[in-house]
Amino acid sequence: MKGGGFDRRGWLDGARRVPSPNADERPPGTEVSLVVIHGISLPPGRFGGDAILRLFANRLDPGEHPSFATIAGLRVSSHFLIRRDGSLVQFVPCGERAWHAGASRWKGRERCNDFSIGIELEGTDERPYTGKQYRRLAALVRRIRTRWPAGDLAGHADIAPGRKTDPGPAFDWARLRRLLAG
């Protein structure tokens, strides 16, 4: 292992791996400069279970829950998911482009998937995230930054305003900044 515990491709040692097919190569010469924080729960407002994992693996049953009918056919992923208990799942190696941002823009650059690492937090816009999630998130961002020049942090809402709202008003950016500084 090198660079914060990541292997050559960008798999993190110690994270549970659930590979997603919803990824591809980054454009040649593209450096990772942004970490995007997301919030997700499936079904909406429910925590635990494996629906998020099945969504990112293209195995979500649209008939299982009414909310799944409109999302089961999406081809989306993220690099990481941090569960409510702080456990960490990785879907895509950080050296590859995960399909997490969609139509997006940051500091004048379009297509944030090209130059970002996506981290999903199990949660909702309105419910506070857990202390374990903040601690794991800060540790993960620090590890990412030992390997990639990902100096910028943004929420999904920041890169896709008007289209996305996550991680929402319940996310405490000041708390994350304090943890990163400490």
Catalytic residues: 120
Contact between 9 and 147 (Cβ < 8 Å) = no
Encoded tokens for 132: 């374990």
| Helix/strand/coil for 153 | strand
Residue 174 DSSP code: H
Compute the distance between CA of residue 124 and CA of residue 36 in angstroms, rounded to an integer: 16
> 66 burial class (0-12, 13-18, 19+ CB within 10 angstroms)?
exposed
